[in-house]
């Protein structure tokens, strides 16, 4: 009609909305896909743009360089993991042994629910690439949990094992199980989060109980 402004074609409007609303997340998602293969040093903004289906100049609307994109990925990984860990400690309350178990379970849940984020976060140096505010939150969480664990051990609630070796053993357990799960090396499907959580609870319970035989009185004869 005369005097009526014609609307943009639907495709053009979708493209514009994509560029202004979704481009940043599309670039982060593309980086998550490729980072485990090439590492932070091998990342290329031109390649990420191609994978996201945009021009080579488009990423610069959101990221000054590839380091800024890697920082965004690291920050997203940390926020997802922190949310899982904080939910675990809220569930456990002041029971430190339960906190220790449930944070391990939460880590495995995070890995199975977000395998691309887990793989990216496993890359060397990714913690140092987080935005400063997120890195401080992330580090503060682990400092507080270590303080609580050492105090629980001092009070006799946790076995008097060498602390660093105990933490290394627990870390090896949850990281190893996470890798087995997301690589399909267990009876659980790689994306079956609830099955993974049940398995994680069972395995961390074994770690908590230990595998040495308990002293039990001999059975009476007759």
pLDDT at 153: 94
Kindly list the averaged pLDDT for each block of 10 residues, start to end, along the chain of length 222.
45 43 89 91 92 92 94 95 95 92 96 95 91 93 95 93 95 95 84 91 92 64 50
Distance from C-alpha of 45 to C-alpha of 217, rounded to nearest angstrom: 67
Q: Could you write out the three-class secondary structure of the chain?
A: CCCCCCCCCHHHHHHHHHHHHHHHHHHHHHHHHHHHHHHHHHCCHHHHHHHHCCCCCHHHHCCCCHHHHHHHHHHHHHHHHHHHHHHHHHHHCCCHHHHHHHHHHHHHHHHHHCHHHHHHHCCCCCHHHCCHHHHHHHHHHHHHHHHHHHHHHHCCCCCCCCHHHHHHHHHHHHHHHHHHHHCCCCCCCCCCHHHHHHHHHHHHHHHHHCCCCCCCCCCCCC
Alpha-carbon distances, residue 5 vs 1, 13, 70 (angstroms):
8, 15, 43
Around Cβ 38, how many Cβ atoms within 10 Å?
13
pLDDT at 187: 78
Cα 122–Cα 128–Cα 132 angle in degrees, nearest 5: 130
pTM: predicted TM-score of the whole model, two decimal places: 0.82
pLDDT at 10: 39
Torsion of CA 13, 16, 21, 27, to 10 degrees: 130
pLDDT at 218: 55
pLDDT at 220: 55
Hey, what domains does the chain have and what are their CATH numbers? 14-63 (1.10.10), 79-209 (1.10.357.10)
pLDDT at 2: 46
pLDDT at 13: 38
pLDDT at 215: 65
pLDDT at 198: 93
């Amino acid at each position: 009609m005369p005097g009526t402004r014609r609307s943009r074609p639907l495709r053009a409007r979708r493209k514009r909305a994509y560029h202004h609303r979704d481009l940043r997340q599309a670039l982060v998602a593309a980086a998550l896909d490729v980072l485990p293969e090439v590492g932070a040093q091998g990342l290329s903004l031109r390649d990420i743009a191609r994978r996201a289906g945009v021009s080579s100049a488009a990423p610069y609307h959101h990221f000054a360089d590839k380091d800024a994109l890697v920082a965004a990925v690291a920050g997203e990984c940390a926020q997802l993991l922190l949310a899982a860990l904080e939910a675990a400690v809220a569930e456990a309350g002041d029971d430190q042994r339960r906190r220790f178990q449930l944070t391990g379970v939460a880590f495995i849940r995070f890995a199975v629910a977000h395998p691309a984020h887990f793989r990216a976060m496993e890359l060397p140096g990714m913690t140092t690439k987080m935005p400063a505010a997120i890195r401080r939150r992330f580090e503060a969480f682990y400092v507080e949990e270590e303080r609580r664990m050492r105090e629980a051990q001092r009070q006799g609630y946790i076995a008097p094992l060498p602390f660093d070796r105990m933490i290394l053993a627990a870390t090896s357990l949850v990281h190893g199980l996470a890798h087995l799960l997301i690589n399909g090396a267990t009876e659980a499907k790689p994306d079956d989060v609830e099955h993974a959580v049940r398995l994680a609870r069972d395995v961390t319970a074994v770690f908590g109980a230990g595998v040495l035989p308990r002293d039990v009185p001999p059975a009476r004869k007759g």
